């Protein structure tokens, strides 16, 4: 008798679990492009916020660049040192996304002279 109950319980559990997995898989595949992009960019933004709090991300623009986090520039491990490179006068090490952001007036400081790049970087 108790074996039957155990078997039935396991059977029901398996059934419910497979329905749950199937519905999750379907939800992902029916997510449209805009929703998916928005969800991914939100996650990326939250991850960068965490990196800023951990002092791994000292970006010069606001909102911060994503290029450094993605490892598409000279920094690895999701760090950004663009801010420090400007302060050190190493403008050639400031990522292209930050350079463009600065050109578009996205310097995160109220005093924008902190974000000034040398003439060789500004296109
Ligand atoms: Zn950057």
Query: How far does the centroid of ligand 1 lie from the alpha carbon of residue 78, in Å?
Result: 10
d(CA 45, CA 39): 10
Query: How far does the centroid of ligand 1 lie from the alpha carbon of residue 99, in Å?
Result: 8
Instruction: For residue 76, give both structure tokens.
Output: 């690895």
Which tens digit of pLDDT belongs to each residue from 48-92?
999 999 999 999 999 999 999 999 999 988 999 999 999 999 999
d(CA 55, CA 73): 18
pLDDT value of residue 37 = 96
CB neighbours of 73 closer than 8 A, spacing ≥ 6?
67, 95, 96, 97
pLDDT value of residue 27 = 59
Query: How far does the centroid of ligand 1 lie from the alpha carbon of residue 60, in Å?
Result: 7
Which tens digit of pLDDT belongs to each residue from 6-51?
777 887 777 777 777 776 666 567 899 999 999 999 999 999 999 9
Question: How much is the pTM?
Answer: 0.69
The 3-state DSSP class for residue 107 equals strand
Query: How far does the centroid of ligand 1 lie from the alpha carbon of residue 69, in Å?
Result: 8
């Amino acid at each position: 008798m108790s074996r039957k109950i155990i078997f039935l319980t396991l059977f029901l559990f398996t059934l419910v679990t497979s329905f749950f997995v199937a519905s999750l898989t379907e939800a992902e595949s029916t997510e449209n492009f805009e929703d998916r992009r928005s969800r991914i960019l939100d996650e990326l933004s939250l991850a960068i916020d965490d990196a800023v709090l951990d002092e791994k991300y000292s970006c010069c623009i606001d909102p911060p660049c994503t290029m450094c986090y993605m490892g598409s520039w000279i920094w690895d491990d999701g760090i950004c040192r663009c801010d420090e490179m400007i302060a050190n006068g190493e403008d050639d090490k400031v990522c292209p996304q930050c350079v463009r952001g600065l050109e578009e007036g996205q310097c995160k400081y109220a005093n924008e002279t902190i974000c000034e790049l040398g003439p060789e970087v500004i296109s």
